[in-house]
Amino acid sequence: MDTKNTHEIDIVLATSSKINSVDFDNLSFGSTFTDHMLVCDFKEGKWGKPVIKPYEPFMIDPSAKVFHYGQAIFEGMKAYKDEQDQVWIFRPDQNLDRFNKSAVRMAMPEVPESIFIDGLKTILDIERAWVKKGLGNTLYIRPFMIAIGSGVIAQPSTQYRFMIILSPAKSYYSGDVKVIIAEHYSRAANGGIGAAKAAGNYSAQFYPQKLAQEKGFQQIIWTDDATHTKLEEAGTMNVFFKINDTLYTAPTSERILDGVTRKSLIDLAKREGIKVEERSVLVDEIVTAAKDGSLKEIFGAGTAAVVSPIVGFQYKEDYYELPKLQNSIAMDLKDKLTKIQYNLAEDTFGWTVKI
């Protein structure tokens, strides 16, 4: 292995690459990983030196607090390659900010920019061959942190591990997406950890989502925990509703994740002169709008899916099909956003960062 030190990051390069064994035309999302990973441990009240090393399993004590008390957070990001073979990332400062807000909420240490951003840039530079050109081709980036301190006493860990792993990806969802509006289950509650990208938020969704899939739906639109009258998120995505000529989305809160794609789409829509309202969206008004024809579109927004149009929804026993539009705001915004991400259009917002 080739070992070197760059910008306070130790680098141990793999002796060979597995890239030639990967079928990039037939990728299953999040199941193939690049040659290297970044690892950095927090012990005795301070962060150690990050190490980029070959991707491999690692040993951890069975009593590590991540297993027993769920101290685990993550982010989702992507890298893109333009036609000149330049690699770009999108709004990494927003991911770092949200990551550290999640850390604070989960009683975990914040990760310095010198580890998160500099480490990300360094590992992406090493793995740039894994970022393939062409719209839809990306390198999915998964920064995460887990509690590795041992002991089953119910208190925060004193030791943590921050890591970055990378996975080549294509589209997250395929085919039509139909959703069911939740009447009983909730994603998060006031005072809880819904605004954090905590692992437990996602595992709690698996059972109700399984029930929805058994009924033929791909996702759930979550409702508020208290009354189940307010629409909040769609599966693992923020959700938008177009009624007549206005785009509506729920405001971020303790229950709703502050999505980077969400805020980017809002800024893009406003730039294009589209009216956007961030306010509570009621189940009843969406059902009424579906009945009278004023509901034009529903779509989810998130890093993995970017924009995922929803073709219909069910509430109680009634299913509502959405109109098939030739001029979809969802697809237009997706096109404008992805062109910025792939350096195919001018980034007037200063969102993209070159590797």
Is residue 70 within 8 Å of 146, Cβ to Cβ?
no
Whether residue 248 is found in the same domain as residue 193: yes
Whether residue 130 is found in the same domain as residue 224: no
CATH code of the domain containing 251: 3.20.10.10
Measured between alpha carbons, how far is 264 from 257 in angstroms, rounded to an integer?
Answer: 14
From the CB of residue 88, how many other CB atoms can be counted at a distance below 10 Å?
21
Whether residue 154 is found in the same domain as residue 186: no
Whether residue 164 is found in the same domain as residue 183: no
Whether residue 122 is found in the same domain as residue 9: yes
Whether residue 135 is found in the same domain as residue 164: yes
Q: Which residues contact 340 (CB under 8 A, 6 or more apart)?
A: 90, 346, 347, 349, 351, 352
Do β-strands 246-249 and 306-315 pair in parallel, antiparallel, or remain unpaired?
unpaired
Q: Chain-centre distance of CA 242, in angstroms?
A: 23
Residues of the chain with pLDDT below 70 are 1-7, 171-174
Whether residue 320 is found in the same domain as residue 188: yes
Q: Which residues contact 350 (CB under 8 A, 6 or more apart)?
A: none
Last residue in a domain, options 169, 202, 224:
169
Measured between alpha carbons, how far is 34 from 50 in angstroms, rounded to an integer?
Answer: 18
User: φ, ψ for residue 232 (rounded to 5)?
Assistant: -120, -65
For 279-305, b/e burial (b = at least 16 CB within 10 A) is: eebebebbbebbeeeebbbbbbbbbbb
Q: What percent of the chain stands above pLDDT 90?
A: 85
Whether residue 208 is found in the same domain as residue 318: yes
| Predicted TM-score (pTM) of this structure | 0.94
Is residue 279 within 8 Å of 251, Cβ to Cβ?
yes
237 within domain boundaries: yes
pLDDT number for residue 4: 56
Whether residue 309 is found in the same domain as residue 219: yes
Which tens digits make up the pLDDT trace of 63-82? Answer: 999 999 999 999 999 999 99
Do β-strands 281-282 and 51-54 pair in parallel, antiparallel, or remain unpaired?
unpaired
Measured between alpha carbons, how far is 113 from 324 in angstroms, rounded to an integer?
Answer: 44
Measured between alpha carbons, how far is 207 from 215 in angstroms, rounded to an integer?
Answer: 13
Counting the structural domains of the chain, the total is 2
Whether residue 159 is found in the same domain as residue 213: no
Q: Where are the alpha helices (DSSP H) in 187-293?
A: 199-214, 260-271, 283-292
Q: Which residues contact 303 (CB under 8 A, 6 or more apart)?
A: 76, 77, 78, 259, 260, 261
pLDDT number for residue 176: 82
Is residue 295 within 8 Å of 243, Cβ to Cβ?
yes
Whether residue 83 is found in the same domain as residue 201: no
Which tens digits make up the pLDDT trace of 340-353? Answer: 999 999 999 999 99
pLDDT number for residue 181: 95
User: φ, ψ for residue 161 (rounded to 5)?
Assistant: -125, 125
List the one residue out of 331, 196, 333 whose CA is nearest residue 261: 333
Residue 6: domain span: 2-169
Last residue in a domain, options 134, 169, 204:
169
Q: Record the tokens describing residue 315, joined without a space.
A: 């509430």
Whether residue 32 is found in the same domain as residue 148: yes
Q: Record the tokens describing residue 130, joined without a space.
A: 């894994």
Last residue in a domain, options 152, 169, 186:
169
19 within domain boundaries: yes
Do β-strands 352-354 and 87-90 pair in parallel, antiparallel, or remain unpaired?
antiparallel
